[in-house]
Amino acid sequence: LKQSYEYEVSWVGRSSVDNTWISRQKLENMGFSKKIAEVDAQEAAKMGLNRPLTSKEIEKHLTEVGLEPEFATHSRIRGLSGGQKVKLVIGAAMWNKPHMLVLDEPTNYLDRESLGALAGAIKEYGGGVVIVTHNREFSEALCTEVWKVDNGRLAASGHNWVTGNGGTAIVEQEAEDTVDAQGNTVKAVKKKEKLSSKELRKKKKERMERRKRGEEVFSDEDDL
């Protein structure tokens, strides 16, 4: 369908009377794919912003996120339950038909029926969705790519680009020494290891004893 689109093109130094309608395919072949994407994004945004702000339109929109039509005209937010408020927030986020949604713990306060409805809506949504959640069952049922943080380590799984075969743990690599243009070896800055509370107390005690003996203690040692 997109290939059948035509775009109005204006020419530098010429009147708008000379504007020409050119097909999407031809413009892409001419190297204007980036400009086409910009125009498409602008038009999509306009479509969302130009939605009629009427009771009928709002009722229809809230029905699509699982709220009864009367919530749009006969209810106050403070009277809604936790689950109804979640649906209302999702409906508000969807009003302008965004290209991407970021949902932070969207499953909170939702019953099983509402969770199923939310999952179905996300599957049908044509844009991108980023979900931050502790609900493993929910994320595994929906997400084609998962980034899991466990004990300070990030493990990515799902999409092929992550590893080429489905999943891996992302581990910080130790910096290596390098050689500059003059042949000098540049020592890599080693990442400081985080000490435990017990180790910190021991270090502090050692520094105090060294000071008592008159030994020099550098200020950067106090940062350990």
Which of 46-60, 129-143, 208-222 shows the lowest per-residue confidence on average (mean pLDDT)? Answer: 208-222
Q: Per-residue pLDDT tens for 120-148? A: 878 877 788 999 998 888 888 888 888 88
pTM comes to 0.47
User: Which two three-digit tokens encode residue 68?
Assistant: 């009864």
pLDDT score at 161:
43
Amino acid at position 29, single letter: N
CA distance 87 to 117: 10
Whole-number Å distance between alpha carbons of 148 and 136: 10
The two tokens of residue 100 are 């991407």
Q: Show me where the domains of the chain are located.
A: 1-50, 178-223
Q: Report in angstroms the alpha-carbon separations of 158 from 101, 133, 136, 147.
A: 19, 16, 14, 9
**Looking at the predicted structure, is the pLDDT value of residue 194 above 50?**
yes
3-class DSSP state of 100: strand
